[in-house]
A and B are shown apart, each in its own frame.
Chain A
């Protein structure tokens, strides 16, 4: 695994600008295409402002020395206020802050996803997503991987937006400049963040000079563009577009069938000019299979979030797997081999497995209280803690490879983050015993593990002589791993 290389302030700034530009570019394209396609008037520049506010807030808190968790909590505490303000400015000028119906607009926004699209929903969803992006950028550590991930995700989203625009017959006059702007930013960010650990002959020649790397990258892209221009003729593109249109027809039918499962809301009047209250759905309507009336609205909101999340997940996975596939084809290391065709399937299978496991756990808890010997509460605690550690490691820039064993991953983490050596080793050994040996941890170990969990979440380094390393010396059981 490649070690993360620390970047100086200017390169971090360049990378941050690049990532922000990438995100704004594809979100802008998406909002433009979707807004026009759905005939919803959206003042895009005002919505994009949310991104800047969220990022600025996060950056300010970061400069004040707050932890990432605090920044996230504080940021999301401000989010409803910012969204409400946005709605007040864009849709309901003159509305009073004490008006409760404005708050109901937020819920109505998600409520409408499964049935119809309206400006309030569109603006709220877009603002929420941009708020999340801004907050995330403020708390992320700038790395080459981050830039590349943003680039690949945005590339997929850009392609999706262009496709939406094409299907909805939306003229996108700014598509070409945005594409150039997008690729340029991607190359700039990649060059600035990769300058110290460049691989390959051409990049290694430019090591230390990000301008050199940028020029090499631009040259390569231009050559690729020339090749693509020869290969992708208008006839071929027309043929592909026809295929996509036919496929989209199928998807539309599927979505209609899904939406048909939920009876549509009665037609809502247009968002009133506040202070009029926003009308609620007719009391007489409900689910045909007799879902209690009070559950209909929350169910629709959950359903809307689920559909939106699934779509995002699908885009993310497909693009990311495509990128990995390209990496493998290019002979780059570190790429886990996983067939592209199965990427989304694997995600769905994973999701269902988790749901099943969760339900099984609930049933076990509600049942006789008997537990499998290898799945005791203590073992579950250790496993959950290990998952926390995996997430922490990934956030620190060292995600676990699929084919890495816990001890191999421990070596990576210890090598990269030596200050956490004792904690990482202790958690790994406890987890290995629980997972592969079905040996639950002792009370003392559990207490230490909980303390480690708190430390890792706070990002605190264990104090010498008082951490688990000292305790481990007294333990009789070892993993005998060499």
Chain B
């Protein structure tokens, strides 16, 4: 028997929206014109999910991650991935302490609230795999010791989709553990001009203040899980995910973990936008970020330029939205 679908009150949803607006506005002090991406990163955080930011160099992936972390007032660490990065460089190591005669655990950079894994596809598969447990179970195991990660925890990984020489593409199992994959995109002409003006004398990131803290985020995470999802919308999510498995161009469709991710993400998005309930529009908006990276497209379809993005668009434009029938 599932959890009862208890609805949020207007006051509770207002709390989520107010906090979200505060954070998004604060990030907007540094990032120009990236409100939706910021909102979606916040959505992932409120769902205790991880984010893969995939875009070309120089569009602000790392700056966005750092700005968000600073706005949240949480502990932040950055891991710059290279082929010689070892799993122990990420998780930490047990070091022999001569004084006590025992082993002492030296935590790695993964032990933080917000972890930025820069250029994740430059790390070897062995190191990438070390992140699996952290991403899914929010704990790490070093030797015989299992250490829970601090809460809230979010891993933001970035990768460059263009420059592939000397990289190790992420395995499907790892991609599936990212709740959302986001693209930042180039700024418009006006936005790019605003960026130049804003960064002319000082880096606004240096002066940025936190607008929330870990405790508030944990409370918001709990509230977001109570955003009402009508059974018809829930069925719509399932229909979309199942359609990815039945699509002719797809070799491997989205997993049940994808359904769960999408379900949680739409709840958080509705909360962030100040609603007590989820709309099919939320599902449509998040279908691409939540499902796109989980599909394996058939080779022949790829040759016909049927990308995962196009397939998701097809599916979203095909599956009937739950609306009264005339």
Residues of A within 8 A of B (CB): 336-337, 350, 374, 383, 386-387, 390-391, 394, 400, 402-408, 431-433, 435-439, 476-482
Contacts and interface: CB of A to CB of B under 8 A. Distances in A.
Given A436-B233, A437-B276, A438-B277, A480 B10 contact: no
A-B pairs with lowest CB-CB distance, top 9: A437-B277, A480-B274, A402-B320, A480-B273, A337-B318, A405-B280, A480-B275, A436-B230, A390-B326
Nearest to A401: B317
Q: Which of A390, A404, A436 has the most CB of B within 10 A?
A: A436
Interface in B304-326: 316-326
B233 to A, nearest CB: 6
A394 B326 contact: yes
Nearest to B320: A402
A408 B10 CA distance: 25
Interface string B9-24: 0100000010000000
B91 to A, nearest CB: 40
B281 A407 contact: yes
A439 B275 CA distance: 12
A437 B277 CA distance: 5
B278 A436 contact: yes
Contacts of B325: 350, 387
13 contacts: A390-B326, A394-B326, A403-B319, A404-B321, A405-B281, A405-B323, A435-B322, A436-B233, A436-B277, A437-B277, A438-B228, A438-B230, A480-B17
Nearest to A386: B324
B279 A479 contact: yes
Contacts of B326: 387, 390-391, 394
Nearest to B35: A482
A405 B321 CA distance: 6
Given A394-B326, A405-B281, A437 B320 contact: no
A435 B319 contact: no
Greatest chain A CB density within 10 A among B233, B278, B317, B322 is at: B317
Given A403-B321, A437-B230, A478 B278 contact: no
Contacts of B17: 480
B59 to A, nearest CB: 23
| Size category, B interface | 20 to 34
B324 A390 contact: yes
Dominant secondary structure at the B interface: loop
A403 B276 contact: no
A437 B278 CA distance: 7
Nearest to A373: B7
Contact of A481 (B228, B279, B317): B279
Given A386-B324, A387-B324, A387-B326, A407 B279 contact: yes
A397 to B, nearest CB: 15
B310 to A, nearest CB: 14
A400 B279 contact: no
A478 B10 CA distance: 11
B232 interface: yes
B281 A435 contact: no
- Highest count of chain B CB atoms <10 Å: which of A386, A394, A407, A438: A438
Contacts of B319: 403
Nearest to B228: A437
B273 A400 contact: no
A197 to B, nearest CB: 21
A403 B228 contact: no
Contacts of A336: 318, 320
A249 B76 CA distance: 77
Nearest to B284: A405
B277 A406 contact: no
A437 B281 contact: no
B213 to A, nearest CB: 25
Interface in B1-49: 7, 10, 17
Given A387-B326, A405-B281, A436 B318 contact: no
Given A402-B320, A405-B284, 13 more contacts: A350-B325, A390-B323, A390-B324, A403-B318, A405-B281, A406-B280, A408-B281, A435-B322, A436-B278, A439-B276, A476-B10, A478-B274, A481-B275
Given A394-B326, A477-B10, A436 B232 contact: yes
Contacts of A438: 7, 228, 230, 277
A468 B276 CA distance: 23
A457 B127 CA distance: 66
Contacts of B233: 436
Interface string B275-292: 111111100100000000
B324 A436 contact: no
Nearest to A404: B321
Contact of A406 (B317, B320, B323): B323
A402 B199 CA distance: 47
A18 B273 CA distance: 51
Among B17, B320, B322, B324, residue most surrounded by chain A Cβ atoms (within 10 Å)? B324
Nearest to A433: B277
Contacts of A439: 276-277
